[in-house]
Amino acid sequence: MEGKFKADMTLQELLSWANSYDIYPRLAKLGPELWGYTYKSSYDSYLILINKNLSLELQRKVLAHEIHHVLKHSPAQPYFIGLNMQHTIIEEEADQFAIEMMAAIQV
């Protein structure tokens, strides 16, 4: 999956790429403490829910963060459930990926 992904994709290219790999980002009304999460269906597709109350820039960062989880963690770990996971290595890696991607992305 990762071979065709490029960090310098435009937002539209990123969304198109995601859909071609059965990754479907959606905006949803989530609580203020939850920015987003990924759900893997029994059909091997991924639904990324992003809090619609976040700024556009933060929504894009959350999307990049969750895509990192799909690319790097989901194949080995079918699910992660936990509270206060923001300081774990997998969350820090996803944050770093999102920062790098946001620096490269073009609108």
Q: What is the pTM of this model?
A: 0.69
pLDDT in the model for residue 28 = 93
pLDDT in the model for residue 61 = 85
pLDDT in the model for residue 59 = 87
Task: Kindly give the residue spans of alpha helices, DSSP state H, lying in 42-88.
Answer: 56-68
CATH fold for domain 2-104: Arc Repressor Mutant, subunit A (1.10.10)
| CB under 8 A, 24+ apart: contacts of 15-23 | 18/48, 18/67, 22/46, 23/48, 23/67, 23/70
pLDDT in the model for residue 4 = 63
pLDDT in the model for residue 75 = 61
pLDDT in the model for residue 25 = 92
C-beta separation of 27 from 56 below 8 A: no
Regions of the chain short of the pLDDT cut 50: 1-3, 83, 107
pLDDT in the model for residue 87 = 59
C-beta separation of 37 from 66 below 8 A: yes
Tokens encoding 9: 């994709």
The rounded Cα 43 to chain-centroid distance in angstroms is 19
